Amino acid sequence: MYEKTLAEQSRMLANGECSSTELTKHYLDRIARLDTDLNSLVSVDADSALQGAEDADRKRKSSAPSNAEMPLLGVPMVHKDIFCVAGGRTTCGSRMLEHFNAPYSATVVNKLNDAGMVMLGKANMDEFAMGSSNENSYFGAVKNPWKRDCVPGGSSGGSAALVAARLAPVATGTDTGGSIRQPAAFCGLTGIKPTYGRVSRYGMIAFASSLDQAGPLATTAEDCAMVLQAMAGFDERDSTSSNEPVPNYMADLDKPINGLKIGVPEEYFSAGLDDGVATQVRAALAEFEKLGAKLKSISLPNQSMCIPAYYVVAPAEASSNLSRFDGVRFGYRCEDPVDLDDLYTRSRGEGFGAEVKRRILIGTYALSAGYYDAYYLQALKVRRLISDDFDAAFKEVDVIAGPTTPTPAFQTGAKTDDPIAMYLNDLYTVSANLCGLPAISMSCGEVDDLPVGLQLTGKHFDEARLLHAAHSYQQTTDWHRRMPAGIE
């Protein structure tokens, strides 16, 4: 059953060809067999998953909702361990929260519960969502199912690895600077980061609040559309959540994309881009042309400023958000502190990993008196210029296309000693977060047996168009259907 997409499983459940209990057992069995090697999940709660599946089966019998009403009823899924789930453990990949039990559930968790989805467990991730390789987790690195000595990407690397290995048909992720799209690209999946404010951040542990956004990772755009439909919408508990109505993401999926104007920024095909990736991405763009899209060369003049701006803004916000982990209110507390200072310094010193500390130091520095103007304020100004570039481009085109990442997945350990090399992975993804724009990554080829991702960035609240374009591409290509070897 694992070869089926979420949409296919949804139809099978609706037609009575399988039950949620069967499907859930199938995936729990796969997790038990395959995840000892991959390390993609940090917790699995088989009892509560089976209970959820039983409830879904009962509901299907008693009230027989149509598939249009409850398409996700009984479909198994996994949440990134950044989403609070009441009653369970929520670690955010950190020793700081190793034993943290959230008193309430995130809105995303409640919404997917209400849609009838069955949570199998929680996915491994980079600590506090900081990273591009999933090597920063307190619970150990995650392996890429395509090549076990390569990284799955980060920070939603557990989510990506487990969907690629078909341990669940879909997983949630979060994306602050690329953490849905980059792991989706590295693992051959489809992943969408919605417009800032489209999905509630309530109960999602904060990294950089002006950039964070949640979304699904699945094998197809159609599956992403189905799950995003249930995740999206206004939430009065998130003050930055948008009350823009949520359109029906499924409605136009099968229409032709004739006349879609795709902008191709020349800056995306310059230094730093792997030749193999460039070739695959160009081939995908040619496929879009065959489907009736029009390509137009455009320019995003401030592209080279994206990484510097992001790596000031994100750590600045992180340093502020993470100040709440003080050894008093949440999570880890050091043993036998001699006084309050000792409690703070040792709890934070022992509870956080190296990358998190690096970000807190950079962020605190950038926000400190005397440096604020030179770094943080400057980064905000650059952020505006980048945003203006996109606004100008979107006057001429509907979507902007390019590679999701400069290279395919790299070897585990290859960049751990060089933070700058690691940060350069995010070259093409951070701009969507800085500008609050939606962006989707889809698999569009392979280089040395590793998947390559194509990214489409859209106008604010234009998720439907991105999903539509990706779905059309997936009707005439089969990259999204490919599976890593050894996951049978």
Residues in touch with ligand GLN (CB under 6 A): 129-132, 155, 175-179, 207, 314, 426
CB of 88 to ligand GLN, least distance (A): 22
> What DSSP letter does each residue of 85-126 carry, written as one string?
-TTSB--TT-GGGTT-B-SS--HHHHHHHHTT-EEEEEE--S
Angle among Cα 260, 264, 267 to the nearest 5 degrees reads 165
Q: Among 19, 80, 143, 200, which one carries the catalytic annotation?
A: 80
Are the beta carbons of 9 and 75 closer than 8 angstroms?
yes
Q: Please, what is the minimum distance in Å from the beta carbon of residue 129 to ligand GLN?
A: 4
53 vs 211, beta carbon nearer ligand GLN:
211
Nearer to ligand GLN, 57 or 238 (CB): 238
Whether 319 is a known active-site residue: answer: no
Annotated active-site residue 431? The verdict is no
Among 132, 155, 319, 443, the one annotated catalytic? 155
Looking at 40, 105, 137, 179, which residue is catalytic? 179
CA separation for the pair 152, 349 (Å, rounded): 28
Round to whole Å and give the CA distance between 83 and 87.
12
CA dist., res. 285 & res. 265, Å (int): 12
Amino acid letter, 208: A
Given the complex with ligand GLN, which of 105 and 176 has the nearer CB atom?
176
Give strand ranges (E) for 213-300.
214-218, 261-265, 294-298
| Closer to ligand GLN by Cβ: residue 179 or 242 | 179
We find the least distance from the C-beta atom of residue 174 to ligand GLN, in angstroms, to be 6
Task: For the CB of residue 314, give the shortest distance to ligand GLN in the complex, in Å.
Answer: 5
**Residue among 16, 158, 150 nearest 81 (CA):** 158
Closer residue to ligand GLN, CB minimum distance, 131 or 351? 131
Furthest CA-CA distance within the chain: 70
422 SS3 class:
helix
**172 three-class SS:** strand
Which of 70, 130 has the CB closer to ligand GLN? Answer: 130
Query: How far apart are CB 238 and ligand GLN at their closest, in Å?
Result: 18
Return the residue nearest ligand GLN (CB atom).
179
Q: Does residue 179 have an active-site annotation?
A: yes
Phi and psi at residue 92, to the nearest 5° = 55, 25
Structure tokens at 159: 């989510």
Q: Specify whether the CB–CB gap between 359 and 279 falls below 8 A.
A: no
Q: Which amino acid is at 101?
A: N
Select 191 or 263, whichever has its Cβ closest to ligand GLN.
191
Shortest Å distance, C-beta 177 to ligand GLN:
3
CA distance 172 to 2: 18
Closest distance between ligand GLN and the C-beta of residue 421, in Å?
A: 12
Query: C-alpha distances in angstroms, 116 versus 107, 126, 204, 372, 380?
Result: 14, 28, 20, 47, 41
Could you give the CA distance from residue 325 to residue 399 in angstroms, rounded to a whole number?
40
Catalytic positions, please?
80, 155, 179
